[in-house]
Amino acid sequence: MAVERSTFSESWYRVADLKVSVHPAIQFQRQFFRGEKWYVLQDPSNNQFYRISYAAYQFLGMLDGNRTVGEIWELCSENNGDDAPTQNEVIQLLGQLYTSNLILGNLPADSEGLLRRYQKRLQREISGQLKSIMFVKIPLWDPDKFLNRWVGIFGKIFTVPGFVLWVILAIAGLMNLAGNWDKAADSSEGILNPGNLFLLYSCFAIVKAIHEFGHAFACKHFGLRNNSGGEVHTMGIMLMLLTPIPYVDASSSWAFRNKWQRIVVSSAGMIVELMVAAVAVIVWMRSSDGSIMHALAYNVMFVTSVTTILFNGNPLLRYDAYYILSDLIEMPNLQTRSNQYFLYICKRYLLGVNELLSPAASNRERFWLFGYAIASYIYRLFIFTTIFLFVADKLFIVGVVLAIGGIYRIAIKPLSEFLHYLNSSPELKKCRMRAMIFTGSATALFIVLVGFIKIPDWTIVEAVVEPVKIQRIHASTAGFLRENVNNGDAVKKGNILLSCDDIILENEYEKLSIRAIEIEHKRKYTQASDLVRSQVYAIEKETVKKMLADIKDKQAQLSIAAPFDGIWISTDIDKWKDSYIQAGRELGMIADDSQLIIRAVAKQNQSQLMGAYQFKDVDFRVKGRPDMHFSGSVISKFQIGTKKLPSAALGYSVGGEVETNLQDEDGTGTKENIFEIHINPNEEANRHLRPGQVLLVRFEMPKKSIAQIVWRRVLQIFQKRFHM
């Protein structure tokens, strides 16, 4: 299906009589896209490229300075029919060539002004780049001679033996990393520590330099192989968020006829990065923890993985994967054309502009262009938000300035341009009233849906189930654990939970018993002959008896009985069998599971939200068991915050939602204040719940508009992240 094209242009009279020729420095390369012949024009003076159809190539070939543009266009129309370039396309093509000083001939003032429109558009694009603090390129070096000198060695990476080497390294890296994913993930916690930032950036800069040289050597390798040059004349620094990052201009690869060679050049940076990553994995696994080599290798691993996933390996941003995708689906200028197609859809089907020409040539292109426009815009919003939060964490003022600039470019400026388009664009001269009515109606509907219609609002907090009656059991005296009740067993009041023995106490008791007998014999022997000594022995006997009674009490305490009916809970009791138990150590607890209570924990932002409402009945379910739904009633809310969780199961360390303090040994200390809410489960819940279970409790609040909910969520993020 051909693209919809208008043959004639109202401005044609201003260029029809021109007699111009094309600069002889222009280089042409033939390429095929989806079976059709195209030509790529290269301007060697600034390394710019333009893709034109075969018919447009024929048109340029007839620009000899003797015939007029109008005469040549008529000849092309006769020879090529519908495939010939339209008058608008001819004007655009001449404008692009004029902007690059690639047209020779004297131009009248009115024609020169028409062609300068394209020059002004280019200037606006350059100005926009210079004004952006996120993307500023500073060229520093012409690496072409260096690449020519070393391409014979490093270019071999992009041959069959090089591919085999890459596969071997990749397999070796994966084999070394297999089974150590948890260790690698845990090591990332300290990657942004202040002491590691210099090493992290150094690794980042070195890896990115290797990445860019990968593009350059691949471009040079295939350029020499195809006799198409593959020249790389620009290498420098790109300031992204004021952070210097190496970059190289390998755009001469766009002229390669073989799309697979263009794909290899686009992926060359990631290819060499993965080779470096594989070597880093091997070094990391074989170096000792704490060594500089170990830290260096891990930083390289982190840099290569994060940048590849978020940027270079993601086709939704204009980095390596974007150009790979464009070549794979044979759709150059994918992002620009997708934006044009999205605007075309909006203008034609929403605003009623029927005279527009579709940028899509087939249903396949419509699918790709529309889908890419939506997906890339959403992903750019995600990346912008991530970058803003990252910068604001380090430099809050810079982050705010960046956010204001981003909001202006993403929302305010497009809205301003749309209002100007709606008010004065010639495209709407036949349907301006319809466009205004539709825009006004859509805006009013959006405001009503977002700002006035109320929808259910709720917040969900985690909770833990505990018995109302619970008592912790501690060792009254030290000893070796010999017998115990199993964890989870039901016990009655007075049942022995565990028994210990103490050989020292037994030996001491035996010695004191013998001593008591000896004293008694001496007392009787001296009773008749020495009354005073006999009385001394009597007093000593009473002292020994008291000591024996004390030992008996301590031995009795070695056996602990249940204080009431309940469940014996002690997850570590089996590990302590035949081990020495210190006096005062917590051994477990007795819980009466006949009556339970739910201790819910609200974080600070949730407590502020819930504090204004009185909750009576709530719904909850067991975490991980969506089929187990119950209800209960709120019996108390604690207004004073604490930094102690009722159970470690609610903390980060074991999968909970509350951020815990890593220095806290039992995992219950929190970084911010939490607020408890006690809930009494109904009878059905009380029968099915078990102590220690983690629940998700849903607190229903008054209905609110979408705008209120979104605004509240934004404020909560700011308050939590920036402590505002």
Domain presence at residue 402? no
Does residue 610 share a domain with residue 555? Answer: no
**Is residue 2's pLDDT more than 50?**
no
Angle at 49 between CA 46 and CA 51, to 5 degrees: 160
**Is residue 591's pLDDT more than 90?**
no
Domain presence at residue 109? yes
pLDDT at 123: 54
pLDDT at 639: 65
Q: Which residues contact 87 (CB under 8 A, 6 or more apart)?
A: 7, 8, 9, 12, 73
Domain presence at residue 368? no
Does residue 148 share a domain with residue 91? Answer: no
pLDDT at 45: 63
- Domain housing 680: 590-719
Domain presence at residue 65? yes
Domain presence at residue 374? no
Instruction: Give tens-digit pLDDT for 249-267.
Output: 888 888 888 888 999 999 9
The mean pLDDT value for 224-244 works out to 80
Q: How does strand 642-644 pair with strand 669-681?
A: antiparallel
**Is residue 171's pLDDT more than 60?**
yes
What whole-number distance in Å separates Cα of residue 316 and Cα of residue 375? 7
Domain presence at residue 385? no
The mean pLDDT value for 137-154 works out to 89
**Is residue 687's pLDDT more than 90?**
no
**Is residue 131's pLDDT more than 70?**
no
Does residue 74 share a domain with residue 34? Answer: yes
Does residue 648 share a domain with residue 509? Answer: no
Does residue 646 share a domain with residue 542? Answer: no
Between the alpha carbon of residue 88 and those of residues 11, 94, 345, 424, the distances in Å are: 8, 10, 21, 22
Does residue 611 share a domain with residue 562? Answer: no
Between the alpha carbon of residue 438 and those of residues 123, 253, 339, 441, the distances in Å are: 34, 46, 21, 5
What whole-number distance in Å separates Cα of residue 576 and Cα of residue 499? 12
The mean pLDDT value for 240-247 works out to 75
Which of 114, 131, 148 is where one domain is finished? 131
Q: How many domains does the chain have?
A: 4
Which of 131, 146, 171 is where one domain is finished? 131
Domain presence at residue 354? no
Does residue 621 share a domain with residue 574? Answer: no
Task: Judge residue 148's burial from the number of C-beta atoms within 10 Å of its C-beta, 0-12 exposed, 13-18 middle, 19 or more buried.
Answer: middle
DSSP 48-91: EEEEEEHHHHHHHHT-BSSS-HHHHHHHHHHHHGGGSPPHHHHH
Does residue 183 share a domain with residue 127? Answer: no
pLDDT at 442: 92
The mean pLDDT value for 632-660 works out to 78
What whole-number distance in Å separates Cα of residue 332 and Cα of residue 326? 5
For residue 595, the domain's CATH number is 2.40.30.170
Between the alpha carbon of residue 307 and those of residues 204, 351, 377, the distances in Å are: 9, 41, 19
Does residue 268 share a domain with residue 159? Answer: yes
Domain presence at residue 309? yes
Instruction: Give tens-digit pLDDT for 79-92.
Output: 877 777 887 878 87
pLDDT at 114: 47
**Is residue 133's pLDDT more than 50?**
no
Does residue 44 share a domain with residue 147? Answer: no
Per-residue pLDDT band for 130 (boundaries 50, 70, 90) equals very low
Nearest to 157 by CA among 300, 267, 311: 267
Between the alpha carbon of residue 127 and those of residues 124, 137, 237, 647, the distances in Å are: 5, 13, 18, 58
Q: How does strand 454-474 pair with strand 479-484?
A: unpaired
The mean pLDDT value for 389-412 works out to 76
Does residue 113 share a domain with residue 158? Answer: no
Helix axis angle, 320-328 to 259-286, nearest 10°: 140
What whole-number distance in Å separates Cα of residue 208 and Cα of residue 200? 12
Residue carrying the six token digits 């339970």: 596
Does residue 198 share a domain with residue 295? Answer: yes
The model carries a pTM of 0.65
Cβ atoms of residues 470 and 570 within 8 Å: no
What whole-number distance in Å separates Cα of residue 171 and Cα of residue 177? 10
Backbone dihedral angles phi then psi of residue 126, each to the nearest 5 degrees:
-65, -45
For residue 49, the domain's CATH number is 3.90.930
First to last CA, the chain: 57
The first and second tokens of residue 594, run together, are 């006949």
Which of 131, 146, 180 is where one domain is finished? 131
The mean pLDDT value for 289-294 works out to 86
